[in-house]
Structure 1
Amino acid sequence: MVSADDLTIDPDELRSGLSGTTVLDVRWRLGGRPGREDYADGHIPGAVFIDLDTELAGEPGQNGRHPLPDPVKLQEALRAKGISQHTPVVVYDAKDGQAAARAWWILRWAGHRDTRVLDGGLEGWTARQHPVTTDVPNPTRGDIEVKPGSLPTLTADDAARLARQGTLIDARVGPRFRGEVEPVDPVAGHIPGAVNRPTTENTTADGRLRDAPTLRHEFAQEGVDDGAPVGAYCGSGVTAAHTVLALHRAGRTDAALYVGSWSDWVTDPSRPVATGA
């Protein structure tokens, strides 16, 4: 049922094993229509909505806009969604996997190894003529035990050090990286020493994660070296989770996520800010 690299799943594969899988709808966008409304309009049968802002992140503040959730609260939220320790989980969003990757990362960070991203999201699902529904399921309470720390994270100091000693990837679009615009956070620019690779480069036009050889080649061009540490950040630790997903496919399962990302970095005015390419 699952794809060979244990990270993503094809819509047809999910359809064939839907009854034995817990499916989470994690549609989200930065501003605009809430994902919960999209879910109400139609979703994969049996899928349960999970809120990225309130259930897959802690309270915004000094640690950024989407800091790590409290493990106790996360466990309660995941159990309420029907997630059990030994049941496969598939997460999806509208198309490109950027929001779904945050759910993937949080679940794997929490110790749930059998979590995958639906390749192409809901758009890929409906393109195969698979059904959607407006019925809201009442999932049986799960028994997942959250074990935080199962994936590596970076603090601000870690990120600064990694930018000097390895490769720190900034997953935001180029103008934000260069400091030309900053629509969300109070300071524009990037962490000194970081390299820019927008998350959109990880996927094909139909929103599917690129193949391993392509990703390995492209990450190598950005300076990713098998012998040096690698990590990623973005605005608030959402889209950078997709870069970590792509790095996993490229073979770098040690890739670390700076969860607080730029929204955490700029809370301390003593931290340096770089602009330009």
Structure 2
Amino acid sequence: MDAIITATEWASESAGERPPTLLDIRYRPGGPPGRPEYDAGHLPGAVYVDLDAELAGAPGPRGRHPLPDTEVFGAAMRRAGVRAGHPVVVYDGGLGWAAARAWWLLRWAGHPSVRFLDGGLPAWTAAGGQLTREVPAVDEGDFVPRPGALPVLDADGAAALARRGLLLDARAGERYRGEVEPLDAVAGHIPGAVSAPTTENVAGDGRFHPAKTLADRFAELGAEPGAEVGVYCGSGVSAAHEVLALAVAGVPAALYVGSWSEWSSDPDRPVATGAQPG
């Protein structure tokens, strides 16, 4: 559970002399940037980070949210005050996907201490936490990304893992089955992938289920400690949330960052439909 911090725990840590650096990753899939929401009220001390501009590269053949340029990402993190030897906490509006993307990127880039505020801003306010419109003045950080601390998959690697190990599809079940596809040109899933919607990893309030519950869920899918596991989604955002859920359950997993938006852009790649892995 080292990857998770509760609102109550954050209240205690934020009152300390040197609280963790706090990042606000408000974002709505397909919606406008979260900056206006941040300006309307955020956790005290939080710095806003734009997912599309700072936590992803430009959309294209590598997908809608490919890995960002490391220089751009590093500069954004230093602007936000991120330091190599100082802990970081990330949160969003409650869905958890955007904050999980920031958690994953920072960990992938070599930061040793990053935690996800479980339940995000709604959990903070439900616990009695106050919001502010004050934009904090933060000192420039010193974090320099050193990619490779977490495993990643490309399209060929994802296809191979679906054959020899376990590749989880974190999207909604109807997208996996190919019944609907609101964002990409082709509906369906990577052959051999197993449906595991990340929405099933959380309770109604958006907080993760207990570690034991998550471990039991993933074990039923074949994701147990020692198994080779990968995850993809539409564009590498909600899949980061599932990688985090797997981490809470004690199961390391690789992320296919390009995900379905990259896979489906190549007409030569096979597509499966229906409820079975294919």
Q: Same fold (TM over 0.5)?
A: yes
Distance 2:228 2:217 in 1: 16
Q: Contact 1:23 / 1:48 at 8 angstroms: preserved in 2?
A: yes
Partner of 2:95: 96
Partner of 2:267: 269
Partner of 1:258: 256
Q: 1:14 aligns with which of 10, 13, 17?
A: 10
Tell me which amino acid in the other structure corresponds to 2:137: N
Partner of 2:43: 44
Q: CA deviation at 1:226?
A: 3.5
Distance 2:78 2:139 in 1: 9
Q: CA deviation at 1:149?
A: 0.9
Q: Contact 1:96 / 1:203 at 8 angstroms: preserved in 2?
A: no
Distance 2:20 2:66 in 1: 28
User: Identity rate of aligned residues, in percent?
Assistant: 59
Task: Report the secondary structure of 2:23's partner residue.
Answer: strand
Q: Contact 2:166 / 2:193 at 8 angstroms: preserved in 1?
A: yes
Distance 1:224 1:198 in 2: 14
Distance 1:11 1:244 in 2: 21
Tell me which amino acid in the other structure corresponds to 1:14: W
Partner of 2:164: 165
Partner of 1:237: 236
Distance 2:145 2:209 in 1: 30
Task: Report the secondary structure of 2:90's partner residue.
Answer: strand
Partner of 2:55: 56
Distance 2:187 2:13 in 1: 45
Q: CA deviation at 1:225?
A: 4.0
Distance 1:85 1:214 in 2: 33
Distance 2:86 2:224 in 1: 35
Tell me which amino acid in the other structure corresponds to 1:273: V
Superposition map of 1:178-193 within 5 A: 178-193=177-192
Long gaps (5+) in structure 2: none
Q: Deviations over 1:161-207 (max 9, x none)?
A: 11111110000001111111111111111000101111111111111
Task: Report the secondary structure of 2:22's partner residue.
Answer: strand
Q: Contact 1:82 / 1:139 at 8 angstroms: preserved in 2?
A: yes
Q: Contact 2:232 / 2:255 at 8 angstroms: preserved in 1?
A: yes
Q: CA deviation at 1:33?
A: 4.0
Distance 1:210 1:222 in 2: 16
Distance 1:13 1:128 in 2: 11
Distance 1:157 1:66 in 2: 18
In 2 relative to 1, CA 33–70 (structure 1 residues): closer, same or farther, beyond 3 Å? closer
Q: CA deviation at 1:267?
A: 1.9
CA RMSD, aligned part only?
A: 1.1
Partner of 2:248: 249
Distance 1:126 1:228 in 2: 38
Q: CA deviation at 1:15?
A: 1.4
Long gaps (5+) in structure 1: none
Q: CA deviation at 1:138?
A: 2.1
Task: Report the secondary structure of 1:20's partner residue.
Answer: coil
**Number of residue equivalences:** 272
Partner of 1:131: 130
Task: Report the secondary structure of 2:168's partner residue.
Answer: strand
Q: Contact 1:96 / 1:206 at 8 angstroms: preserved in 2?
A: no
Compare 237-246 and 134-143 and name the one that shifted more.
134-143
Distance 1:174 1:81 in 2: 36
Q: CA deviation at 1:223?
A: 2.0
Partner of 1:24: 23
Q: Contact 1:170 / 1:177 at 8 angstroms: preserved in 2?
A: yes
- TM-score where L is the length of structure 2: 0.95
- TM-score where L is the length of structure 1: 0.96
Q: Contact 1:166 / 1:224 at 8 angstroms: preserved in 2?
A: no
